Structure 1
């Protein structure tokens, strides 16, 4: 099992995340590896999470390579940094996509900066 699959399956098992209690919308993750595309659809309704494998339309579509998805799922990559570098493409509601970033593990260097108070 990949870190990406484990991440989405964990979200499905949790079923609710209070950090998203004010969020409502759908986000589809299109994860590309060569010619193959793996799709995960996340439906958020005031913190209630429903995860399916679907290519249904969504308010935001996040397109990444399998390597980037793995790094994000392991907490090795910051989503905003990935968007800035062009490694993460967002089509549709960018604000919604940014809010979903809260679900991913925080990169270790970000935790250190938060603890030390330095944002260098």
Structure 2
């Protein structure tokens, strides 16, 4: 079975820089429960440059959830904000870091750009 969480973080690590995080500096740690264990992923953001490790480190923002739910975020099948509103994830520390990081999750596979949707109703 494919570990979507690992694939997501590996992809971020290979890219190494994210323009949407260009003005951000801080560290996030994801504590993901799975089969009675806790899997840690630490992401250091330095003005768009990313450094990832699968180790526990002190962090400015700590996100706790299950790995199965994070897999769904990583695939676009679940929205992290909806999960947060349903108390399925816990965010401690600098919440703003997670709000920027969440932009890196893919959207749903059937999502369409809002402009394309609004242009359908416009007569040409």
TM-score by length of 2: 0.87
CA–CA distance in structure 1, aligned partners of residues 112 and 88 of structure 2: 24
CA–CA distance in structure 1, aligned partners of residues 62 and 16 of structure 2: 21
Question: Secondary structure of 1:102's partner?
Answer: helix
Bigger Rg over Cα: 2
State how many pairs are aligned: 116
Q: Which residue of 2 aligns with 1:14?
A: 15
CA–CA distance in structure 1, aligned partners of residues 117 and 83 of structure 2: 23
CA–CA distance in structure 1, aligned partners of residues 68 and 117 of structure 2: 30
For structure 1, the 5+ residue unaligned runs are: none
CA–CA distance in structure 2, aligned partners of residues 113 and 94 of structure 1: 27
CA–CA distance in structure 2, aligned partners of residues 87 and 60 of structure 1: 16
Question: What pairs up with 1:58-77 in 2 under 5 angstroms?
Answer: 58-77=59-78
TM-score by length of 1: 0.90
Question: Secondary structure of 1:16's partner?
Answer: coil
CA–CA distance in structure 2, aligned partners of residues 77 and 116 of structure 1: 21
Question: Secondary structure of 2:65's partner?
Answer: strand
Q: CA deviation at 1:113?
A: 7.2
Q: Which residue of 1 aligns with 2:82?
A: 81
CA–CA distance in structure 2, aligned partners of residues 104 and 43 of structure 1: 17
Distance 1:68 1:99, change over 3 A: same
Q: Which residue of 2 aligns with 1:40?
A: 41
For structure 2, the 5+ residue unaligned runs are: 119-124
